[in-house]
Amino acid sequence: MKMKSKHTLLLLAAFIFSNKSFAIDETSYHLLSDPGTLLASIFLALLLAVMFILPSVIETLLKLVKQHKGKAMLLLGILTTSAAKAEIIGPDFYRKFDGYHFVLVLALVILILAITTQLRIINRLANDLRETNALGEKSETAWSRFIKKMTDARAVSEEKDILLDHDYDGIKELDNNLPPWWLYGFYITIIFAVVYMGHYHVFNTGDLMIAEYEKEMLYAQEELEAKAASGDIVLLDENNVELLTDAASIDKGAKLYTSLCAACHAAEGQGLVGPNLTDAYWVHGGSFKDVFSVIKYGVPEKGMIPWKTQLSPTQMQNIASYIMTLQGTNPPNPKAPEGELYE
């Protein structure tokens, strides 16, 4: 047991004190390209949860397989086919439900299964103990001794020895010992709590949230700069953005326009609440870069929303490029020109 608790503590420490887990979660990395320590964290937590019950789960499963070979195969079959189905539903239905999320859901399902299985185990254990009793020490193994030690329950057949003289409307109480696995678990959580408070507030060895945030921002900044320096990405802004003319980009821009801009500038750009985008008159400049800037930063005092937090630079580039194609299209019901003629 000593080895075991030492091990547990190490895992626990690794889990809780890895600030990195969070930092990575928030980086500019595409989440999927990096499995992330968050995932590891959740698994560790689950591991803790099933640590005490998993052995007995496996034991019972093995027994079940031995007893009901056919049924077990069937179960296995159902499990694998349903997994395959999840695969087929795939990207379109739940775009986000890819590997990363699948593992998270799987982890939860495992937890639920483990706990429900535990219900069966309790029953089986009780039966086993009863049988063991009836048959003497014959079927005892190191494993069953361990389980017995961890649960420390008196067999149902012996329960009259520990029946207390309490009687409340017919309800009686047994005097079973506290289950050792439960008690040790309680001790571990108490140690955890003390170490946790010490780590963050006595020895100040852990980062509190603002320090964590500052590190995260710094990390993201460095990451971006490194990527820009190596030429992996081009950081598009109003200084280096270029007009796109290829059909695919214009088409993307048109779609975004319809869903986001048409509410104010009308479906064909003829203007509604916002100005007409099809004439040659512009309130804030008519160059491609001007249009890009207005989309990006907005003109809040006049009602134009800044889109920089909602759209990527490429998306704004697409929209601006599409808007440039509207010049001189003369749609019906145009709004009167506003601003200055741009040539």
Partner 1 sequence: MEIQKFHYDNRIVKDFALASIFWGVIGMLVGVIIAIQLFYPPLNFDTSWLTFGRLRPLHTNAVIFAFVGNAIFAGVYYSLQRLLKARMFSDALSRIHFWGWQLIIVAAAITLVLGITTSKEYAELEWPIDIAITLIWVVFGWNMFGTIIKRRERHMYVAIWFYIATFVTVAVLHIVNNLELPVHFLKSYSIYSGVQDALVQWWYGHNAVAFFLTTPVLGLMYYFVPKAANRPIYSYRLSIVHFWALIFIYIWAGPHHLLYTALPDWAQSLGTAFSIMLIAPSWGGMINGLLTLRGAWDKVREDVILKFMVVAITCYGMATFEGPLLSLKNVNALAHYTDWIPAHVHIGTLGWNGFMIFGIFYWLIPIIYRTKLYSTKLVNIHFWIGTLGIIFWALPMYWAGFTQSLMWKEFTADGVLAYGNFLETVTQLIPMYVTRAIGGLLYLTGIILMAYNIRKTVAAGNLLAEEPAEAPALEPNYVKHTGEHWHRWIERKPVQMMIWSIVLILIGSVIEIIPTMMVKNNIPTIENVKPYTALELEGRDLYIREGCISCHSQMVRPFRSETERYGEYSKAGEFVYDFPFLWGSKRTGPDLHRVGGKYPHSWHYNHMLDPEMMSPGSLMPPYPWMFENALSTKHTKGKIKAMQTLGVPYTDEQYKNAVEDLKAQSEEIANELNKDPNINVSSDKEIIALIAYLQRLGTDIKN
For the segment 11-70, give every residue that binds partner 1 (CB under 8 A): 16, 18, 21-22, 25-31, 38, 41-42, 45, 49
Between 113 and 152, how does the x/- string for binding to partner 1 read (CB under 8 A)?
Answer: --xx--x--xx--x--------------------------
Across-strand partners of 227? none
Q: Binding to partner 1 by residue 182, rule CB under 8 A?
A: yes
Between 203 and 242, how does the x/- string for binding to partner 1 read (CB under 8 A)?
Answer: -----xxx-xx--xx--x--xx--x----xx-xx------
Give dist(CA 12, CA 77) in Å, integer. 35
Q: Which stretch binds partner 1 (CB under 8 A): 59-67, 105-113, 142-150, 238-246?
A: 105-113
Give dist(CA 241, CA 250) in Å, integer. 15
Between 241 and 280, how does the x/- string for binding to partner 1 read (CB under 8 A)?
Answer: ------------------xx--x--------xx-------
Ramachandran angles phi, psi of 340, nearest 5°? -110, 155
Give dist(CA 62, CA 72) in Å, integer. 10
Q: How far is C-alpha 326 from the geometric centre of its chain's CA atoms?
A: 42
Q: Which of 71, 166 has the CB closer to partner 1?
A: 166
Q: Which of 10, 217 has the CB closer to partner 1?
A: 217
What is the C-alpha radius of gyration for the chain, rounded to an integer number of angstroms? 33
Give dist(CA 117, CA 124) in Å, integer. 11
Continuous H helices in 17-98: 20-25, 36-51, 54-67, 69-93
Cβ–Cβ < 8 Å for 143, 59: yes
Task: Restricting to residues 278-317, name those near partner 1 by CB under 8 A.
Answer: 300-314
Least CB distance from residue 343 to partner 1, whole Å? 28
Ramachandran angles phi, psi of 16, nearest 5°? -75, -35
Q: Which of 74, 106 has the CB closer to partner 1?
A: 106
- Which member of 13, 64, 104, 110 binds partner 1 (CB under 8 A)? 104
Across-strand partners of 168? 171
Cβ–Cβ < 8 Å for 114, 49: yes
Least CB distance from residue 222 to partner 1, whole Å? 11
Q: Which stretch binds partner 1 (CB under 8 A): 134-142, 170-178, 245-253, 319-327?
A: 170-178
SS3 300: helix
Least CB distance from residue 271 to partner 1, whole Å? 11
